[in-house]
Every structure is written in structure tokens, then in C-alpha cells.
């Protein structure tokens, strides 16, 4: 598929797809006319890249870890497992902090609603 179709199917801009290629996160073949051509699995890879970016991983970290996520588990080294564990732990802390922030906002919203109802009474 060409870059425009991949962009449409993955919900990511053409510019982002080009950036992913520059960062060596995504690969394409070139047609005789020089157009980028992607295999079907590229859609899933783009979704994975997006998820990992949203989790706060950098391009450099993605470049390091993406091949690992597509490698059979039996080929994981202890060093790689340590690296994956570090990222998992970092994301867990981020989830905890986001949950606390959400809960605090919920408390404020509920308190404001209670105050508003009392004022209307």
C-alpha cells in the first residue's frame, strides 16, 4: 500500500509516517517511480508506535525496543528483559500518577456540583 493509504488506515499523518521512517521505526520499499510501498503489517506497527509514544517512550527507546517486541520471546536476553522491565515500571508509575490526578479532579468536580446544588436550594 502507498503512504496515503497507510496514513488513512492507521489514522496517522503522512508527515508522521515519514518521520517514523527517518527514525528507523518503519520501513518501506520503493516503487520504480520512487513511491513508498508498505506491507500489510505496517498498519499494526504504526499502531504500536503510536501506543508506545503515548506511553512516553522516545524515538531512541522505540528504535531499541521495537525489534524486541517483534522477536520470539525465547530469544530475549536478560539485558533486554531488564530494559523492558524498566519501561514497564516507568509506565506503571505514570499510570499511578495519572490515576491520582484524575481522582483529584473528580473530587473537585463533585464538590463543585454539591456546592452548586446547595446554592440553588
Output the pTM of the full model.
0.73
- Neighbouring CB atoms inside 10 A of 61's CB total 17
- Domain boundary assignment for the chain: 1-70, 73-121
Residues of the chain with pLDDT under 50: none
Q: Specify the pairing of strand 36-37 against strand 29-30.
A: antiparallel
**Burial state string for 63-73 with b = 16 or more CB within 10 A and e = fewer than 16:** eebbeeeeeee
Residue 1: predicted pLDDT: 95
Which alpha helices (H) appear in 1-121, and where do they start and end?
3-10, 14-22, 42-54, 59-69, 78-120
Grid cell in block for residue 4: 496515503
Residue 121: predicted pLDDT: 67
Four-way CATH pick for 1-70: 1.20.140.10, 3.20.20.70, 3.40.50.10490, 1.10.1660.10: 1.10.1660.10
Q: Could you read off the pLDDT of 71-96 as tens digits, one per residue?
A: 777 778 888 889 889 999 999 999 99
Residue 116: predicted pLDDT: 72
Give the end-to-end CA distance of the chain in Å, rounded to a whole number.
Answer: 62
Residue (of 68, 62, 57) closest to 24 by Cα position: 62
Distance CA 44, CA 12 (A): 12
Taking the CA atoms of residue 41, residue 46, residue 52 and residue 55 in that order, the dihedral angle to the nearest 10 degrees is -140
Amino acid at each position: 500500500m502507498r503512504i496515503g493509504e497507510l496514513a488513512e488506515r492507521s489514522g496517522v499523518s503522512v508527515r508522521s509516517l515519514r518521520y517514523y521512517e527517518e527514525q528507523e521505526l518503519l520501513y518501506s520499499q520503493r516503487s520504480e517511480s520512487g513511491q513508498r510501498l508498505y506491507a500489510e503489517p505496517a498498519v499494526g506497527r504504526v499502531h504500536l508506535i503510536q501506543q508506545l509514544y503515548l506511553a512516553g517512550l522516545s524515538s531512541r527507546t522505540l528504535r531499541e525496543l521495537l525489534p524486541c517486541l517483534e522477536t520470539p520471546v525465547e530469544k530475549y536476553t536478560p539485558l533486554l528483559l531488564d530494559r523492558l522491565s524498566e519501561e514497564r515500571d516507568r509506565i506503571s508509575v505514570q499510570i499511578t500518577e495519572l490515576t491520582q490526578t484524575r481522582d483529584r479532579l473528580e473530587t473537585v468536580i463533585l464538590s463543585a456540583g454539591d456546592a452548586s446544588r446547595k446554592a440553588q436550594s
